[in-house]
Structure 1
Amino acid sequence: MTMETGPIRDFTIDTPQSELDDLNDRLARTRFPEKETVEDWAQGIPLAYVEELVAYWRDDYDWRRCEAALNAHPNHLVEIDGVDIHFLHVRSPEADARPLILTHGWPGSVVEFLDCIGPLTDPVAHGGTAEDAFHLVIPSLPGYGFSGKPAETGWSVEKIAESWHALMTALGYDAWYAQGGDWGAMVTSAIGAQDKGGCKGIHVNMIVAAPPKAVMENPTEEEQQALARLALYRAKGAGYSKQQSTRPQTLGYALADSPSGQMAWIVEKFHDWSDCDEGEGAHPENVFSRDRLLDNVMLYWLNNAGASSGRLYWHSFGSPNLDPVEIPTGCSLFPHEIMRASRRWAETRFKNIVYFESVERGGHFAAMERPEAFVGEVRAAFRAMD
């Protein structure tokens, strides 16, 4: 399938003040539900914390700071198969840097990678060597962030993978690499499976593969823990995915109308999926700043992306792409990831694993939660592909 690609246009994020005023007005008029009847997060994000975040968002949060941080990098738009794709394109000062496309997931955004851009593009200035340099392409998924919203069905993981190939080709890269977590891992894996010739290797920090019979019948202790975590997720943590994969439009009305609702829908996952301590002490702000949490939420709120982001689940969650990947692959396992496949588990799909490492701390949003560890893993994985 050939993707129709338009010209690359420069883009500057410039939010009208009227939108920020409307947000503050809505936050001031938030109607909260009653307090949960438990003393933890078992029923969802607690009322007291939502009230704190809403008050901070309304009175102290500064979107212009985040807007400036994003605009400090070159932003662009390109139309691919009728949909505008927003992306950051940050070239390294090292001429021989490898082109690398980084893909976020839900409920993330390009904000996840902000603290990694400097170390990945200019490693010499951040404790690395020139050989570790990358030219970065960081797109917003279709229906997410500042990308356009598909008006027709068909924008599956596979189509996005083909679009990223078209994007890298349009940028003049004939040999490049890909990295991703969450949906980004699925898109990146699909790029590897499609193997159109441009992508020379991939790295994922979430391994999407079916557990083999040997794992199910005789799991190691590590695999037992991974299977137990996956079972807990399916039993108590996957309600969002059922809603978004079946009725994203209905959910979208609430998320489009209520900033506090959109924020709670997202921030709950930054608690559940991050390595932010256990039990009563677990809190997303143990590992994320309040500002950065809200920066990420703003990319959903300002772009009214509640329904459009959920539609990716409608397209691809029920039947995930598990096609085999033959190109060089690196895998990094962060301990609080939803899916922590062992190497023999991963090898059922990824046939050419050249790097496989467990990281001491971190979770699902690795680039945002543990940027230094994430950068180290990316460098090590692609170094193994020399």
Structure 2
Amino acid sequence: MAIERFHIHVSDEILDDLTYRLHHTRWPDQIDNTGWERGTELSYLKSLISYWKEHYDWRAQETQLNRLSQFCCNIDGIDVHFVHERGKGPNPMPIILTHGWPDSYLRYQKIIPLLTDPASYGGNPEDSFDVIVPSLPGFGFSSRPKHAGVNSFRVSEMWAKLMTEELGYRKFAAAGGDIGSGVTRYLVANHPELLYGIHLTDIGIIRNLMASSDQAKLTEEELQYKKSASEWIAQEGGYMSVQSTKPQSLAYGLTDSPAGLAGWIVEKYRAWSDCNGNLQQKFNEDELITHIMLYWVTNTIGSSARMYYENSHSLPPLGYIDVPTGIALFPADILLPPKEWAVRNLNVIHWASLPRGGHFTAMEEPELLAQDICNFYRTFRVKMNH
């Protein structure tokens, strides 16, 4: 199908069913004097569900989301939902931003105006971008893959078609974090001629470094990464083990219970953000619940979890990335990559350590991330085709 306008409207039937489920939550207990160390804290989740029932207004959020220019088109048999906001500068550079899990295209909601219209925020109109933010297949308003094998590599091929065949860009920029970092790296590895450069906020979990048996060849920083990554996976990686091996079993409970879904997701926002254990420092309840709602109203928590299975079972290896790469690291993110490894595996020409922020970079610190993206791509603008 050709590109069509996309308008969010969730049926009253889905919302009424959700209200019923929220009012009939069956709660587990929690051992006395334990907090979050065994998972999402009961008292916190009860207060969040209470807010969801009594105060949260999906229709108001829906109206706000519909102010974004949203579209849908079919690529490789999957309906891809995406935001496409035009830049307001003299010669906007197109950029595709890819999100991860357990977030959504809303990861970039705050950063879109900063990139499309920098002049309105004290920046230079010459730094403006056309911003494209797709929803990953099986996430939010993109359709759920019906066949196995839709991994980060396959998604990167879809993004190449979206940007060139559907939107008509000859060359563009790309940025991402979490799953979006992998998609962006596969995109540039297989289509280097299409990219000015890529901008990443992480390099994922570096499995080949963790598997390296030749300790003598590793730097001190790489040895430390190996140790901390193993500890992190042992302590915090349970969700990843389940989603990489038995996502279908997990899907039943999370698809059936909104409280269960919220409990699975909010723990990650707390653990991975720069909030010092207090979610309210970085996110308000409406923001958190809207992310949870995107999974709930589209019934995509199961299909989103499957991306972990696909990536752990069918991804081809990535070689050296020759295209110029910018990396912006936020101090509270998980498993910050060793610089030496990054430089050996990517053509790193920009390395920034930012003063605050965690894994959900564009949600937590949109101004810092937007500024770094503008700084990185400024050098490429002289080469842009007019």
TM-score normalized with structure 2 length: 0.93
The SS at the match of 1:136 is: strand
Other-structure match for 1:275: 274
Query: Contact 2:88–2:125 (CA<8 Å) still a contact in 1?
Result: no
Unaligned runs of 5+ in 2: 382-386
1:44-75 C-alpha deviation (Å, 9 max, x unpaired): 01000010011100110111222122210111
CA contact (8 A) 2:90 2:126 kept: no
Residue 304 in 1 paired to residue 303 in 2?
no
- Listed one character per residue, the Cα deviations across residues 204-236 of structure 1 (whole Å, up to 9, x for unaligned) are 10124443767974414xx56644542332111
Specify the alignment match of 2:121 in structure 1. 126
Q: For 1:302, what is the secondary structure of its paired residue? A: helix
Q: d(CA) in 2 for partners of 1:363 and 1:318?
A: 28
Give the secondary structure class of the aligned counterpart of 1:150.
coil
**CA distance in structure 2 between the aligned counterparts of 1:359 and 1:36, rounded to whole angstroms:** 38
Residue 346 of structure 1 corresponds to which residue in structure 2? Answer: 342
Aligned position for 2:155: 160
| 1:78-227 to 2 correspondences below 5 Å | 78-169=73-164, 170-195=166-191, 197-208=193-204, 209=206, 210-211=208-209, 217-220=218-221, 226-227=225-226
Contact 1:195 1:327 in 2 (8 A): no
Shift of 1:357: 0.8
CA contact (8 A) 2:90 2:125 kept: no
The alignment partner of 1:368 has SS state of helix
TM-score by length of 1: 0.93
Residue 70 (str. 1) matches residue 45 (str. 2): no
The CA distance in 1 between the partners of 2:91 and 2:218, in whole Å, is 47
Q: 208-217 or 365-374, which moves further after superposition? A: 208-217
CA separation of 1:121 and 1:36: change in aligned 2, threshold 3 A: farther
Instruction: Find the counterpart in structure 2 of residue 243 from structure 1.
Output: 242
1:256 is matched with 255
Secondary structure, counterpart of 2:289 in structure 1: helix
Amino acid at match of 1:274: S
Percent of aligned positions that are identical? 39
1:38 Cα offset (Å): 4.6
Correspondence for 1:3: none
Mapped to 1, the partners of 2:238 and 2:17 lie a distance apart of 30
Residues 231-258 of structure 1 deviation map (CA, whole Å, 9 limit, x = unaligned): 3321111111111111111111111100
Q: Which residue is equivalent to 1:371?
A: 366
Secondary structure in structure 2 of the residue aligned to 1:141: coil
Judge conservation of contact 1:100–1:136 (CA < 8 Å) in 2. yes
Please tell me the residue identity of whatever aligns with 1:201. Answer: G
Measure the CA separation in 2 of the matches of 1:324 and 1:261.
41
Indicate the SS of the match to 1:202.
strand
Question: By how many angstroms is 1:287 displaced?
Answer: 1.0
Q: Which moved more, 1:265-274 or 1:192-201?
A: 192-201
Cα distance change, pair 111–286 in 1 and its aligned pair in 2 (3 A): same
Flag the 1:182–1:85 CA change in 2: closer, same or farther, 3 A.
same
Residue 230 of structure 2 aligns with an amino acid whose one-letter code is A
- Using the alignment, how far apart are the partners of 1:112 and 1:36 within structure 2? 34
1:332 aligns with 2:348: no
Unaligned stretches of 5+ residues in structure 1: 1-5
* Cα displacement (A) at 1:16: 1.2
Distance 1:332 1:216 in 2: 26
Deviation at 1:95, TM superposition (A): 3.9
